[in-house]
Chain A
Amino acid sequence: MNLSSGKGSTSSSPLKTGEAVSDQFPAGLRVMVVDDDSTCLRILERMLSVCLYEVTKCKRAEVALSLLRENKNGFDIVLSDVHMPDMDGFKLLEHIGLEMDLPVIMMSADDGKSVVMKGVTHGACDYLIKPVRIEALKNIWQHVIRKRKNGLKDVEQSGSVEEGDRLLKGCDDGDYSSSVNEGRGSKKRRDEEEEGDERDDSSTLKKPRVVWSVELHQQFMAAVNQLGIDKAVPKKILELMNVPGLTRENVASHLQKYRLYLRRLSGVSQQQGNLNNSFISSQDATFGATSINGIHLQTLAVAGQLPAQSLAKLQAAALGRTTAKAGVSMPLSDQKNIFSFENPRLRFAEGSLHHLSNSKPINLLHGIPTNMEPKQLVNLHQSTQTLGNLNMRVNAPAAQNNPLLMQMAQSQPRGQMLSENADSHVARFPSSLVQPTVQNGISNGVLGNRITGTSNLTTAYNTVPQNSSLLSFPMSQTNEMSVDSFPLRSPPGITSIPTKGIFHEQGTSGIKGPGGFVPSYDMFNELHHQKSHDWDLTNTGITYDSSQHANPLQGNVDVSPSVLVHQGFPCMQQSVQTRDATSIGKPLFSTGEGIHPGNHQNVGQHLNNLVGNSVRVKAETFHDPSSQINNLFSDQYGQEDLVTAFLKQQEGVGPSDNELDFDGYSLDNIPV
């Protein structure tokens, strides 16, 4: 049921609608249940019907996935068995997370700790032990609400961001992760601390987003394939696609997302090494790419590679919405061939992409907003290679085209980085760098719901080819590929502080001054230190840790409270946290990657999966960040009927509890 069709209607009488909705809710919740066991499937179907949910049952995961893809907004939550013959439940979980960002509950007769843990790390909202009792099913709606809430919250945040606020501030991880992408739901990232001050917004004009429809994506894919994955630069892709109204920025951001996805899928161990190299070669001012979204231009500027002016422009661009049609989440249904489990192809792509990232920093710049001067472009070029992944939050000035940042952020390497990061490193990054931007859907995605921070970092890394001094990934610091390569590690030479100065210079450009920067950084550190933070916190904002923690695999892998394990399993937060990445990564790879405990690369890879999976790497969805927000929002309104209305009602009631706290942003602020 669609209770509201848009902001307007929502705001008109939210309470009223909400009340009406809440009376019925959660009745009508659209549940998809997947289980190869007919007996269990039938029983679950019946139980869910008794709970007044709308049930769709599937025996096969592939069928379920295609149903979900065809009907992106047709389901609210998915229940899936773990052991299925045609596809591993965790893999399905991963796909759903990437493509649709729906809450997924895993089920199994297996109550072994490792399996449950795997569910957690892959990002399942919950884990039910069979036989499932109806009482357990009665409460599954909470996961839907939670996700929506987080998503809305992020959107709101994003809105404010776009309005220019926290550019310099580390802002919140929440923005990153949740924001646009899937729109729904990343974990609650809003970190109050990070959000701290809002900056005035300057400009972001909201541009209509490009919706990456199936057809459009197919054209994109055709162009990419024709060019060859390593030669696929946005400009050429755009030309080949020949779609009127599509801009280079749109393509670039989409390409970034795609690459990210590929990288993540193929795991990145070998690339990590390369990335490390390339990163290391960048200047000392390596910032370890924080989240894609959030790389501070300042940082770049500091590195000396980015002239202040460019920085300002970039920032402006980053903030701005991308070109009008920024693509909203792209339906991935047609990407099956890509995403599917075609490893060989991915590997190839991976290899070439890797190559690409190492040797072709240039293409990242294609998305540079047109308002940038050529000279700046040149300047940016070098530094922006790294920027590619950086999502520069531009605070100010014109912000219209975020595309640059977004695109850059969305480079594929991100995916790679995702894999690398996985964890604590993410937290290290100064919040300033991380700046969750709504714009970069991918980065948000990357940040994901779960391990947002990590994902951002990884992404950022990817895009930073050789010279971006700014994006020095921590990798340079350590020899080990694995964790060290995670962008989260702050490179030795770089700290956020220097950027501060630069910021000042750019005052006029609208970039937030150091004030913003520093606090965010502080906040970031703070976040980082707060072990108790859940995923959201660590992930979202934290990609750049300029100096702090050298310990790569620190577990910032907090499991957010929302990832509950059914039947009383403890929230893994603390325990996960301290565990090193290896152990975390391990359970992820039961599907066969074979982690070697000592093998960092694998760990990285696993972590990637960890991140990707659990985080629901938004990157995968290839959303254009800016458009995502809008899109996200309208999607939510359109489809989410009950949930949205319910949430709205909650909001109307006031932030009485944490979950419903919108941080002062009303839903109206969310751009639609």
Chain B
Amino acid sequence: MEVDQMQRQYLDYTKPLFLEGFLDGQFLQLQQLQDENNPDFVAEVVSLFFEDSERLLNDLTFSLEQKSIDFKKIDAHVHQLKGSSSSIGAQRVKNCCIAFRNFCEEQNIDACLSCLQQVKQEYCHVKNKLETLIRLEQQIVAAGGSIPTMEFSF
């Protein structure tokens, strides 16, 4: 595949992610932070995000399974997930976290459980998308091309 084909493929894949709200402007910022001297910056940050998120989701699952639920702790975990997802631009995950925190405040166990499910789902979605996106980017770079910057009129 030619570089420009790859680039087009990349754009076709990535643009909808933004339009559908999987990713937001923060992700674009991250991409701008990547340069020749830091060619793997996005990939690195994304994998850090995956690590942190999976750990947090496990903790959340564990906490919500307890007999007596520690909402404060849950809130702290969700808050952290919210922070990292917003830093990376995983908008849907972040929005789920916001709703989750509200339910934590209300101490609504059922709603929390359902939020947790939602967060996990959103996380899986965005994880897949990001993995594909990065793979496409790496393909382009490997082929000697440069990652096209997206133009949005946000």
Contact = CB atoms under 8 A, between A and B. Distances in A.
A215 B46 CA distance: 45
Contact of B51 (A38, A46, A50, A134): A38
Interface string A35-74: 0111110110011001000000000000000000000000
A109 interface: yes
A131 interface: yes
Contact of B45 (A36, A39, A50, A110): A39
A134 B48 contact: no
B6 to A, nearest CB: 25
A109 B45 contact: no
Interface in B16-50: 26, 29-30, 33, 38, 41, 44-45, 48-49
A130 B83 contact: yes
A133 interface: yes
Nearest to A81: B83
A133 B83 contact: no
Nearest to A44: B87
Given A37-B52, A110-B79, A130 B29 contact: no
A83 interface: yes
Contacts of B7: none
Given A37-B52, A39-B48, A42-B44, A131 B86 contact: yes
Contacts of A37: 52, 80, 83-84, 87
A83 B76 contact: yes
A119 to B, nearest CB: 16
B79 A39 contact: no
A40 B88 CA distance: 8
Contacts of B41: 46
Contacts of A42: 44-45, 48
B92 interface: no
Nearest to B27: A131
B45 A43 contact: yes
Contacts of B49: 39
A62 B87 CA distance: 24
A130 B80 contact: no
A108 B82 CA distance: 10
B25 to A, nearest CB: 9
What bracket does the count of chain A residues touching chain B fall in? 20 to 34
Contact of B26 (A46, A108, A131): A131
B116 to A, nearest CB: 18
B48 A109 contact: no
Interface string A122-149: 0000000011111000000000000000
Contact of A109 (B38, B52, B86, B89): B86
Interface residues of B, number: 22
Nearest to A37: B84
Nearest to A83: B79
Contacts of A133: 26, 29
Interface in B71-108: 76, 79-80, 82-84, 86-89
A614 B86 CA distance: 29
Contacts of A81: 83
Contacts of B45: 39, 42-43, 46
A46 B48 contact: no
B29 A38 contact: no
B84 A40 contact: yes
Interface in B116-130: none
Contacts of B29: 133-134
Interface string B46-61: 0011011000000000
A131 B87 contact: yes
B87 A40 contact: yes
A39 B88 contact: yes
A46 B33 contact: yes
Interface in A90-127: 108-110
Contacts of A50: 33
A572 B133 CA distance: 44
Contacts of A108: 83
Contacts of B76: 83
Contact of B38 (A39, A46, A130, A131): A46
B137 to A, nearest CB: 17
A133 B87 CA distance: 9
A36 B83 CA distance: 11
A39 B87 contact: yes
Contacts of B79: 83, 109-110
Given A37-B52, A38-B51, A43 B83 contact: no
A38 B33 CA distance: 17
A132 B88 CA distance: 10
Given A130-B86, A131-B87, A43 B80 contact: no
19 contacts: A36-B80, A37-B83, A37-B84, A39-B48, A39-B49, A39-B88, A42-B48, A43-B45, A43-B87, A43-B88, A50-B33, A83-B76, A109-B82, A131-B83, A131-B86, A131-B87, A132-B87, A133-B26, A134-B29
- Leading 4 A-B pairs by shortest Cβ distance: A109-B83, A39-B84, A131-B86, A131-B87
Interface of A: 36-40, 42-43, 46-47, 50, 81, 83, 108-110, 130-134
Interface of B: 26, 29-30, 33, 38, 41, 44-45, 48-49, 51-52, 76, 79-80, 82-84, 86-89
